[in-house]
Amino acid sequence: MAPVAAAQPTRFAIQKARGKGWKTLEVGEDLDHARARFNLMVRVNPRAYFRLIQLDHNAGAGGDGIEFNWKLIELHDPNQGGAAGTGAKPSPGRTPSRAARVAAKPPLRRERVPLPLRFYAAVVLAGLLIGGLLYLRYGLPGP
C-alpha cells in the first residue's frame, strides 16, 4: 500500500517581477503576516511589481508535493498605484514593456539653466595668454 501524503497547509507567497518571470521572495503560512510583509516590500520599493499569491497544494499531481495551484490575492502595479482590482494587471510571467513604462511617466518640465559664459571666457583668455607667453619664451628662434 502506498503512503498517503499529509495534507499541506495553505501557503502565501510574495513574488517580485524579474525580467519575463516572477521571483519568489518569501513563503509563509499566515495571511496577516504575508500581507504585512507584502506592504513593507511595496513601501521599500514602490516602483517594482509585487504580487501576493495563495498556494494550495495540488494533491492530485504526482510531483511528491511540489506542485501547487495558485490564486492572486494582491498585485502592486506601480503604474496603477494600487493593489489587485485597481486596473490592468500584467499577465502571469510578464511585465510591461519598457516603452509602456516610459510612456506612463509624466513629461519632464524643461528648466532653464544659465551657462557660465564669463567663466568659460576667462578660461579661454587665460589659456591664450599662457600659450602666448610660452610661445614667446620657447617658440621664437634664438640668436
Q: What's the pLDDT score for residue 52?
A: 93
> Are the CB atoms for 95 and 17 separated by under 8 Å?
yes
Q: What's the pLDDT score for residue 43?
A: 93
**Threshold 0.75, pTM exceeds:** no
Q: What's the pLDDT score for residue 16?
A: 93
Q: What's the pLDDT score for residue 70?
A: 86
CA distance to 1, 27, 77, 89, 125, per residue, from 64 (Å): 16, 18, 34, 32, 80
Q: What's the pLDDT score for residue 68?
A: 77
> Are the CB atoms for 27 and 68 separated by under 8 Å?
no
Q: What's the pLDDT score for residue 87?
A: 42
Residue-wise pLDDT tens for the chain (143 aa)?
445 555 678 889 999 998 888 999 999 999 999 999 999 999 999 899 999 999 887 776 665 656 778 899 999 988 885 444 444 455 555 555 665 555 555 666 777 778 889 999 999 999 999 999 999 888 877 66
> Are the CB atoms for 29 and 55 separated by under 8 Å?
no
